[in-house]
Amino acid sequence: MHLFSYLALLAAAHGVNAQLVNPNKNTFGNVFNFWTKTTDGWDLTRGNATNAITLPLPDPRGQVMIQPASSALVIIDMQNFFLVRDNPNCRFITKNNLSQHPDLGGDPLGRAIIPTTINMIHAFRAKGMKVFWTNWGLTDFDLISMPPAFFRGFSSDGTSATSFGSDMGTIQGNISVGRKLMRGSWNAQPFGDLLDEQLAGVAHGSDFYFNKNRLSGMWGTSTPMQTFLQDNLITTLFFGGVNIDQCVWGTLLDSYYKGYDVILVDDISATTSPSAATAMVDFNAALDGWRANSTDILPALV
């Protein structure tokens, strides 16, 4: 674009923005990205109310109207590494939270939210809304650029030899767990029935899978998921997964910083952290956007 054309576009946008935002005290944002306050809540459709869906979310924000074509469900880190393995290789899990099975450890709270998560996935697909999966999936190049604090945090025994990229051996006698959180490894795959859901959704074109190399799937100037969001004009995001106070919170917070609508879904999120950690996320998510349960959302979708 020539500089003159670009400046003309900016001038036009400024003029429209002034007309759109300033005279109307119930419009928040700018001509490219705005919400409208309604009598009962908020309109997030940004002027495109075709096939819009109204969700009766809890107070204090009240109901929201969303545009299905610009909305998506984001499932974070529901992978074997966090939900299946025994405790010694994972900093997020304590012995008190392990199941009694000698091979299957992981997070029982995370496993417990799987049926509700699948119900949400099916409901979003039925309404033509996309489902995003973002999991740890490192490359060898990621290991070169990974900060030392992350290596320390994911070490099993306090040494770098058991951190990212280390061979995790086998589980249940014959399953090769693979290198820790490396792309394509068994431990980095979605857990149980979620793997079947993800594979079927990707094959059908309703679901999309994005590897990440930090707690947040939206960390950095432009992640693969963010690029997809921008290319497909998706602005409203619903979040669930594990851990609610770490990778879910990090992805939600970075999305909020970058201007997306953020809605935390509590009953498809879990953590092994103390309850105060979840309380912090719930409090701040309600300030940054909305928090709800699937029971607030599913009736409007099914």
Contacts of 185 (CB under 8 A, 6+ apart): 177, 178, 179
pLDDT number for residue 98: 27
In the chain, % of residues over pLDDT 70 = 85
Query: For position 103, what pLDDT does the model report?
Result: 43
CA 137, CA 130: separation in Å to the nearest integer?
Answer: 21
Q: At CB < 8 A and 24+ separation, what contacts does 280-286 make?
A: 280/245, 281/244, 281/245, 281/248, 281/249, 285/249, 285/252, 286/60, 286/61
Mean pLDDT in residue range 73-90:
77
- Report, as an integer, the average pLDDT of 82-100: 43
Please report the DSSP string for 184-210 in residue order. Answer: T-GGGSBPTHHHHHHHHHHHHTSEEEE
Strand locations in 206-298, DSSP E?
Answer: 207-212, 236-242, 261-270, 290-292
* Mean pLDDT of the 213-233 span: 94
Confidence of residue 105 (pLDDT cuts 50, 70, 90): low
Bridge partners of residue 142, in order along the sequence? none
Reply yes or no on whether the pLDDT at 250 is more than 60: yes
Domains of the chain, residue spans: 1-29, 69-301
Mean predicted lDDT score pLDDT of the chain:
87
Q: Kindly report the CATH number that applies to the domain delimited by 69-301.
A: 3.40.50.850
